Structure 1
């Protein structure tokens, strides 16, 4: 029998870029994000991994402390570059209304487009699918970004790339996936 991966994808806590509707940079959690973490119960895990950006590492460290797992801040090996946020290229740090409307529309409708010079949704999805395929069995909590969680969910469901933009991922949202033999299912509840 093939071993099971029980994966909880957890979005990082709030940042100022989210509040201001800006494309993110490598920023810390906001005061609001730190308050949000006070109310979170860490999912049960054999291991916690995080995206390398500061906002994900800070979220994972807080969860690791409450879950009894060594905080990710002290162990760089638990930071997985495959979980990094989408590369927004020239748009990083800019407010959404500062981006040319035509370029934004192209990016939102064509998963292969990268008018910002960074990573396309298709490239992100390929990276995330590769990460999912390489996960070792066990209970894993991955603290990452809304874009990564969208890509993983679309992949798990076998949905078309257009489904990416139909998934809303709020700060500290949790998506549970179970994987066995390369097949994934979404766990609700």
Structure 2
């Protein structure tokens, strides 16, 4: 398939091969960067930052390696689906990232009561909403997206936003030091404008 698309219509097959090598290099470069970011985020930010703050470097490295394997396997399964398209995958990626991180970014910039527990609840709920909405057949063998036509980002963003606010209000407020830092940054931002 790749050979037919890229080299059969090119006058000089060597140039077609170079073109194909460039595309494959860009794909591999992006994939390994995304795997590294995901593994670092899970092992350092979630595992060492929240679950086990006293974890040694060997344990963090093990978690990082396991994350790479799990994420790569998940990506392989998603890519293996013959019905998936690049546009669909990009749309799902935007929905997942937007639902998981969009409300956290907005609230952490504009609402000083946001805390770590609320951020984690929002991140998990937003991501899970997108996965459930787009991939799990719940109604007559259809996913909720196919049944309703509603883009999962809309619902995931709303659920994440609500949970961040509710969980932040139900748990301990940020420390006075954090609130002061928030005010300092906000005042500096206003003063610069």
TM normalised by structure 1 equals 0.25
Q: Which is helix-richer, 1 or 2?
A: 2
Q: Which is strand-richer, 1 or 2?
A: 1
Bigger-Rg structure (1/2): 2
TM normalised by structure 2 equals 0.25
